[in-house]
Chain A
Amino acid sequence: MNGEKPSWLIEIVSKLSELGIRLDEAKNVLKMEVAPESLREAAKILIQYGYDHLASISGVDWSTKGTIEVIYFAESYEPEKRGTLIELKTATSRENPKLPSLVDLWPNALLLERETWEMFGVVFEGNPDLRRLLLPPDWSGPPPLRKDYRVVEEGIYVEYE
């Protein structure tokens, strides 16, 4: 962020700090780590300040740490806010990954949560539509974007019987 901090940004930062959220300002991204319990509270504050939709929900599987990180990127259409993304980072266990759904707050989380559920196995409690989205109906095996799912390559020269 260049130059003077705009007033809306100072307000967001102070409101979120009240929730006990740790913030970190990088270039054009306001980063924060949030416990799953305060996820919904943080989202409500961001919506009040014009961050009314998500650009992405993505999982990151830290298999050695035993956690799955879920990262939400909130975005705003407002001219003074569009240059700043807000990154909400939360983590859940690999064995029993569960997070509250944000569909009722950010409606476009519907498909993004569906995809993250399918690819990482994270259950979003409250999402009414956790069905397969991109994978074929007969898919089996661990969620494919987890690190223990290995892509098996056939190779070029194979025996054909």
Chain B
Amino acid sequence: MLSMSSEFVSSRLLFKEGDESTYELFIGPQHPASGHMRFIVRLKGDIIVSVDPDIGYVHRTMEKLAEGREAIKAIPLLERLTIIDSHNVTVALVTALERLLDAEPPPRALYLRTLLSEINRIASHLYGMGIAGIMLNHSTMFMWAFGDREVWIQLAEELTGARLTHTYSIPGGVRRDLPQGFKEKFEKAARYMEKRLQDYMKIFLLNPQIASRYEGVGILKKSEARRLSIVGPNLRASGVKYDARLADDYGAYKELEFEVPVREEGDCMARMLVRVEEIKQSLSIIRQVLEKMPSGPIFAEKYLKLLPPKTREQVLKTGHVKLPGIFASLKLPAGEAVARAEMGHGEIFYHIVSDGSTKPYRLRVVTPSFRNVVLFRYLPPGHRFMDFPAIYGSLDYFPPEADR
């Protein structure tokens, strides 16, 4: 952050050369469009010369807080990194904890995790598309995407009991079994979504006014994307076929068939289209999950047998897991574990170091938005100022996730 030498800051003239003047402009931190960050933009006339993303306004010291509490409490804490995608945020954390604890979740639990991950991904992409829409003043796209996101939030609530803060995956399994009638509800939602995606194309992405704002704007070259360590749809829109679902072994992805949509153009339009294709893939993954889901327990035998017999019976009957008392002071064996998972925004990375106590000695998390924030520096220079919101929207950047 800049030091505050004066009481207020405003845009200022940096230098003048003939008729040309270079201005420094401060955008934010209060909600430039989707807020909590500041951009220091230098403009020569209407052309962007440089952008310095000034982040940290929503830094909540998550890594430090996680060191001060029992490992299990890190799950509800860290899902607040990206509240709109909270299962994808924590599934890698739980996977890393399981690798430390040597707890193997049963196959049905892995399928249920994948189910919620994909529901989250659809909701996250809809959120991103809605925000991208309103950044171009397209209120309809915003209203439609946010309205349709509600369908997936309701499905998640049906499964987990909570709209956003699911805390669904726990070491050794998941908290709840599939509710009755879920498949029918999903099929209805999927049919609706498939039709709506066509509507989105007509009113938004194929709309000549939007296409002219997105096509050829903010091009990220393949070589640059690799060099800058970009992740998620932003990487895949630049022609790199990489997805953490293929890289790390978590959930039931190994047993499912899915495409990883890739485009070569690397512009704003390609980034938006990759997200649309990913929603279609997620629908197909959920269909397969519901089709193939094995029957059986949803919580590891290792922990299940620690429950009193009556509670265990109740858990097996209702499909609602009660946590064994040991979870309050679960000792993490000394050592370290890493895990990666693919969120809606891209790859999230966890590294846990334990010294054998109940609290993690160090919990490192690198979020996709933190890896992608560097794009604000590289993409806008050379563009007109009006392209800035188009580029910002297409990156699906989420400040609370980057700041942690």
Chain A interface residues (CB < 8 Å from chain B): 27-29, 52-56, 58, 60-61, 71, 73, 75, 77, 79, 82-83, 85, 87, 106-108, 110-112, 119, 131-138, 144-145, 149, 151
29 sampled A-B residue pairs with Cβ under 8 A:
A28-B249, A29-B338, A52-B226, A52-B227, A58-B364, A73-B351, A77-B242, A82-B242, A83-B249, A108-B374, A111-B370, A119-B63, A131-B1, A132-B1, A132-B56, A133-B1, A133-B55, A134-B55, A134-B403, A135-B56, A136-B1, A136-B56, A137-B1, A137-B3, A137-B4, A144-B61, A145-B63, A151-B61, A151-B65
Residue of B nearest to A111 (CB): B374
Cβ contact within 8 Å between A151 and B248:
no
Cβ contact within 8 Å between A55 and B1:
no
Residue of B nearest to A106 (CB): B229
Residue of A nearest to B244 (CB): A82
Which one of B61, B351, B374, B404 lies within 8 Å of A56 (CB-CB)? Answer: B351
Q: A73-B338, A83-B248 are in contact. Are A151 and B68 (CB under 8 A)?
A: yes
Range for the number of chain B residues in contact with chain A = 35 or more
Chain B interface residues (CB < 8 Å from chain A): 1-4, 55-56, 59, 61, 63-65, 68, 99, 226-229, 235, 240-242, 246-249, 338, 340, 347, 349, 351, 353, 361-362, 364, 366, 370-371, 373-374, 403-404
Q: A108-B374, A136-B1, A136-B56 are in contact. Are A144 and B229 (CB under 8 A)?
A: no
Cβ contact within 8 Å between A56 and B403:
no
Cβ contact within 8 Å between B349 and A55:
yes
Cβ contact within 8 Å between A53 and B229:
yes
Chain A's nearest CB lies how many Å from the CB of B5? 10
The CA-CA distance from A60 to B228 in the complex, in Å, is 25
Q: Could you say which residues of chain A place their CB within 8 Å of the CB of B371?
A: 108
Chain B's nearest CB lies how many Å from the CB of A136? 7
Q: A56-B351, A145-B64 are in contact. Are A110 and B246 (CB under 8 A)?
A: no
Chain B's nearest CB lies how many Å from the CB of A126? 18
Q: A52-B227, A111-B370 are in contact. Are A77 and B68 (CB under 8 A)?
A: no
Cβ contact within 8 Å between A53 and B349:
no
Cβ contact within 8 Å between B55 and A108:
no
Chain B's nearest CB lies how many Å from the CB of A135? 7
Q: A134-B56, A135-B56 are in contact. Are A56 and B366 (CB under 8 A)?
A: yes
Cβ contact within 8 Å between A60 and B362:
yes
Q: Could you say which residues of chain A place their CB within 8 Å of the CB of B63?
A: 119, 145
**Chain A interface main SS type:** loop
Cβ contact within 8 Å between A77 and B340:
no
Residue of B nearest to A131 (CB): B1
Q: Could you say which residues of chain A place their CB within 8 Å of the CB of B4?
A: 137-138
Q: A58-B362, A60-B361 are in contact. Are A73 and B349 (CB under 8 A)?
A: yes
The CA-CA distance from A27 to B374 in the complex, in Å, is 31
The CA-CA distance from A111 to B64 in the complex, in Å, is 19
Cβ contact within 8 Å between B229 and A56:
no
Cβ contact within 8 Å between A55 and B340:
yes
Cβ contact within 8 Å between B64 and A144:
yes
The CA-CA distance from A107 to B373 in the complex, in Å, is 13
What 9 pairs between A and B have smallest CB-CB spacing? A53-B229, A108-B229, A58-B364, A134-B56, A82-B247, A134-B59, A77-B242, A56-B366, A137-B1
Cβ contact within 8 Å between A58 and B351:
yes
Cβ contact within 8 Å between B229 and A54:
yes
Starting from the known contacts A73-B351, A77-B235, A134-B59, 16 additional A-B residue pairs (CB-CB under 8 Å) come to A28-B249, A52-B227, A55-B229, A55-B340, A56-B366, A58-B364, A71-B364, A79-B246, A83-B249, A85-B340, A108-B227, A133-B55, A134-B55, A135-B56, A137-B2, A151-B64
Q: A77-B226, A108-B374, A134-B55 are in contact. Are A60 and B353 (CB under 8 A)?
A: yes
The CA-CA distance from A56 to B348 in the complex, in Å, is 10
Cβ contact within 8 Å between B351 and A82:
no
Q: Could you say which residues of chain B place their CB within 8 Å of the CB of A71?
A: 351, 364
Q: Could you say which residues of chain A place their CB within 8 Å of the CB of B229?
A: 53-55, 75, 106-108
